Amino acid sequence: MSKLIKTNKLNKITIMAAMLWMSIVVVVAAQTKIAIIDAGSGGSRLAVYEVNTSAGTGAGVVKPANIVGVSGSCGPLPNNVDCVKGLIQAASDKSVPVYLLATAGMRFEEIKNNSSWLGYNSLGITAMTISGQYEGFFAWLATGVAKNHFTAFDFQNATITSNKPFGIIEIGGASLQQTFWTGTGKINLSNITFSSNGQSSPYSVSYLGWGINEAWDKSNKKLKSNHHTPLLDTATLRKNLRDKSNVVWYRLGGGFNDTDYVNWLGLTSGLTNPTGNPDWTAGAALYIIMTNAGANADSLRVFRNKVKFDWDQPN
């Protein structure tokens, strides 16, 4: 009898140890690290995030991950390829997947040259110029996470649930984005469609050339004389801020530090600056992990087709 009791105790201990080990494995597996290189007009910056795929709610679903030796920045592409390759190698050495997403600065280059920069293929990773529409949407996602406006994250079905209508205006170096949604409820990240009024689905628009570095002559406090991009629709920007009274609006980007440009844009009221100034790369990290982009050839193809910049289309 005593031998049987001891055996049962041993079995229970073994089972408990196995369960503990399985729980540890699940927790580790739920922590997914991903690196995003923001290749913008001012340079190429590496950001590493940890996405908690088991998180149901909370701002902690996406947070910066500090990995020794995996950090840094370079000058803008396409003139600093070797430096960018060094950032990629540092992340790859730590088994962190890397995505290079180029924004408005490269959109300008592609429009001026009437073609895509062919050097992406030499980087050996998923690299592309993304549309301004998705740049704004990623910034909107990052803000929703930071401000706890998303109450649920369903990683299996790639849906998020919003509990508050909110929007962002982001002034970057080469472009300006406005993204908002007047509704609440679930959004399927795998099947995003942008609406013209922000009611049934998010609205997102980007004005290329109207980032502060491209548009504004700081010394003379006026538009640059060589500014030839299409006229910025400031009336629509202000109208959205004024008419969408149920939307909480946030301002993002370093361009808001120049009060003269912000005054010229007419964006002096109705906007709050969220703590930490959420970075669009955090939203990109969440989107990529939730939609399983790049997990196989098919999902990578879908990801490319969704977010890539096409200079024949409004951006």
Q: Give 88-132 pLDDT, tens digit per residue.
A: 999 999 999 999 999 988 888 888 777 767 688 889 899 999 999
Among 203, 180, 185, smallest CA distance to 249 is for 180
pLDDT for residue 58? 63
Give the integer Cα–Cα distance in Å for 200 and 195.
Answer: 7
Please give the share of the chain, as a percent, with pLDDT higher than 70.
Answer: 84
Return the CATH class of domain 133-282: alpha beta
Q: Which residue has the higher pLDDT, 134 or 1?
A: 134
Q: What is the pLDDT of residue 112?
A: 75
Q: What is the pLDDT of residues 220-278, one digit of tens each?
A: 898 887 776 667 778 888 888 888 878 999 999 989 999 999 999 988 888 888 777 89
**How deeply is 194 buried, as exposed, middle or buried, from its count of CB atoms within 10 A (0-12, 13-18, 19+)?**
middle
Q: How far is CA 281 from the centre of its chain?
A: 4
Query: Any idea of the CA torsion for 218, 221, 225, 229, to the nearest 10 degrees?
Result: 80
**Where does CATH 3.30.420 sit in the chain?**
32-131+289-307, 133-282
Pick the CATH number of 32-131+289-307 from 2.60.40, 3.30.300, 3.30.420, 3.30.70: 3.30.420
Tens digits of per-residue pLDDT, 21-67? 333 333 334 558 999 999 998 899 999 999 988 866 666 788 888 88
What tokens were used for 89? 């190698």
- Of residues 37, 45, 204, 41, the one with CA closest to residue 107: 41
